[in-house]
Amino acid sequence: MNLNQYLPQSLQIIIVFLMSMASTLVTAQVIYPEKAVTLVVPYGPGGMGDRLARLSSEKLYSSFKQPLIVENKPGGNGSIGGRMVVNAKPDGHTLLVGQTGEIIVNRLLMKDLGYDALKDLIPVVLMGNAPLVIVAPMDASFNNLTELIQLAKKNTNALSYASLGQGTPGHLAAVALEIGTNSKMVHVPYKGISNLLPDLLSGRVNLFFSSTSTAIPLIKSGKLKVIAVTTPKRIGILPQIETVAESLPGFSFTVWGGLFAPKATPKPIIDQLNREINLFLSNPDVKNQLEADSIAVPINTVSEFQEFVQIEANKYEKLIKQAQIKLE
């Protein structure tokens, strides 16, 4: 028997609407996590992304009631770990702690990458954002940014700068400085910081765009001098040091790390992860630990992080095209 034939049409519409709402609510009640969550770090242990992942794994168990396992997957400039997450089941149980290289730069420089991080991953939450500092040997002939720029413009290729490889934040920040000041320096890439530092300390290379965690101990011990910082505003740990932006307005290059999920991961899971990570990062103990190394931990929504990633992508795409950078 079709009961609808005995009901007014307006009442039939209401019933259909209520049934649809009930179905939507049931679907939205995602139980998460149902098992251990794997946080993929596409580099070896020790970097900022690894640190953020391990802090998360330690602090989030109480709210997740499931273990968070950090899995380091180095190789291919971060592309191996990135591909692992892109190809994972989109259920929130395999996530990427990603940084500038594997999210933005690889897609611009690497052929046959096999995926596009901006299309195949969902930005969930920004977890940390840290400055770079320009450091030089103690006996360098320049003592501030103005003197560095004057020397670089006066003598083409008279200055050399170290980096941790083609397309790394330090390399690209140096290229942006060259373009912004119409100067040219010699790029000297290294495979690791342990190879780079002896040459920097001895003056075989003239400067390095360094993370604060590497630079600050060497600055405090009098082994390196600091020339400038790459954030738009001065940083608390080096308040007397000028920013590059004070000479080149708009200059901003940082090392950041954030959480990413495979495309098609349900929105309730994305929102839950964003809430939990923001709550964890706002814990005073965690915040103080990270800010001691000048790692900013801003509260941010999913949409704010997505906008941040797109702005970064636009900046690096413009720079790489302008400088005609290719992987060597």
pLDDT at 6 over 80: no
Distance of CA 295 to the CA centre of its chain: 11
> pLDDT tens digits for 284-310?
999 999 988 889 999 999 999 999 999
Domains of the chain and any CATH numbers: 37-129+255-323 (3.40.190.150), 131-246 (3.40.190.10)
DSSP string, 263-301: TT--HHHHHHHHHHHHHHHTSHHHHHHHHTTT-B-----
Average pLDDT over residues 154-161: 90
Are 213 and 124 in contact by the 8 Å Cβ rule? The answer is no
Q: Please give the Cα distance from 269 to 92 (Å, whole number).
A: 7
pLDDT at 203 over 90: yes
- Residue whose token pair is 């307005």: 249
pLDDT at 28 over 70: no
Q: CA nearest 256: which of 98, 135, 107?
A: 98
- Residue whose token pair is 């920040």: 173
Ranking 12-16, 58-62, 116-120, 135-139 by mean pLDDT, the lowest is 12-16
Q: CA nearest 305: which of 127, 78, 47?
A: 127
